[in-house]
A and B are shown apart, each in its own frame.
Chain A
Amino acid sequence: MKLHKRPPTRSRSPRAGSLVIVGTGLRAALQTTPESQHEISRAERLFYLISDPLSERWIKSLNPRAQSLTSCYARGRPRMAAYERMVERILAPVRSGRRVCVAFYGHPGVFVFPSHAAIRQARAEGFDARMIPGVSSEDCLFSELGLDPARSGCQSYEATDFLVYRRRFDPSSALILWQVGVVGNLNYGARPIRSGLRVLARRLARAYGRRHEVVLFEASVLPVLPSTIRSTTIEALPFTKITGGMTLFVPPRPHAPDSRGLRSLGLRPSDLVVVPECWRPAG
């Protein structure tokens, strides 16, 4: 029997530059992991995209070489064009052999296009690139509304994507819609547009009914302010005060367990633990 040796492969050692993408959480310094802080401090080039002056100052105190990526945005222009500019700006020092770190607020991989695009591009060019997780807005929503995705499952969509692709969803499971404040508007610096909210409300009303209660949520980024939790109904949604950064939580419709499903697992309805709903805001 003839043994075939594997052909020798060229060792692909990563090139000199490297890229680390980190998340600062919603409240920088408080929600930033020690691992992310370490990467921010040791980076030769640090870029950041942060929503508040507080976090910006903290980042600069950790690494004075920090540069903001906000200048890549242009008011009224498509966000995608800004993201492409960001990727190019991030990769330029990586190509010249620097250890680059980019800090995004929240989780760097959740609703952040340039982070994924930069990692993909860096890896394709043979550089070492990785992402470190952070605390996202959804994490804050789970803890502040008392929502447990284990109870009825959880579906999560970007609001415009939800409408444009007519996503199929299960009303008996919790639904989270991101960026409802700017539904239907793809430009940077967009203000809430009521027509998009009306379309969204119509779509939700068909599945849940017009009187179904929904919650608008926005995690606070300042330590002295509570998060915004605004309860309303689907029919009142287009008339509710809303900001660009708000997330919509649609509680599930009550749903009885399937008897065939229970039988197939050898379970009885009394075996199921019914956890009381606690997403309702206090007061």
Chain B
Amino acid sequence: MSEASKLVAFLLALQTSPIVSKRFDRNAKKEMERFGLAPATVRAVLAQDAAALWAILLTGSGGHIAVATGVRRRRHKPKEPEPAHIAAAVGTPKRGRRRKSKAREPHQVAAVVSAPPRGRRRKPVEPEPDQIAAVVIVPKTRRRRGKRT
């Protein structure tokens, strides 16, 4: 079950079930953990971080999943990636130079995981909940259109 599906299930239960709603009011963190949500998602809900929550919901339906390679050294342990790791993972411009191969559509979302997802590196798959270290919105980048002479 993907992280987006778990979050949807939790939010839906919060809207429709008085029991879940009551338990959430009493101990929000514990209730979210009952639904198996990742620590990054729990933090996003508690901080009411709209961008992060939407990113998590949308990564389940077409968003990018990038790997913050700098964090991998820590034996897959979930850890907040450094800004430089996130920038490298989602392909944001670095020192004014844009890497064309990693250019994304403007404002797409990327879930940054602290360990590489299963399968081949170049083919993103849904990360395990405990692998999600951060969720970022990829900033607007300009894409070259047409031939420049």
Contact = CB atoms under 8 A, between A and B. Distances in A.
B149 interface: no
B53 A224 contact: yes
Interface string A213-231: 0000000101111101000
A226 B49 CA distance: 10
B61 interface: yes
Interface in A187-236: 191, 220, 222-226, 228
A27 B12 CA distance: 10
Interface of B is mostly: helix
Contacts of A224: 11, 14, 45, 48, 53
Interface string B1-34: 0001000110110111000000000000000000
Interface string B41-69: 00001001010010001101100000000
A30 interface: yes
Contacts of A57: 8-9, 12
A54 interface: yes
Nearest to A30: B15
B15 A29 contact: yes
A53 B14 contact: no
Interface string B68-112: 000000000000000000000000000000000000001100000
A224 B9 CA distance: 13
Contacts of B60: 53
Contacts of B11: 54, 222-224
A222 B55 CA distance: 13
A222 B53 contact: yes
B35 to A, nearest CB: 12
Contact of A225 (B15, B16, B48): B48
Interface in A82-96: none
Nearest to B49: A225
Nearest to B106: A191
A52 interface: yes
A225 B45 CA distance: 8
A169 interface: no
B53 A58 contact: no
Interface of A: 27-30, 52-54, 57-58, 191, 220, 222-226, 228
Interface of B: 4, 8-9, 11-12, 14-16, 45, 48, 50, 53, 57-58, 60-61, 106-107
29 contacts: A27-B15, A28-B15, A29-B12, A29-B15, A30-B15, A52-B57, A53-B4, A53-B8, A53-B57, A53-B58, A53-B61, A54-B12, A54-B15, A57-B8, A57-B9, A57-B12, A58-B12, A58-B15, A191-B107, A220-B50, A222-B11, A222-B50, A222-B53, A223-B14, A223-B15, A224-B14, A224-B53, A225-B48, A228-B50
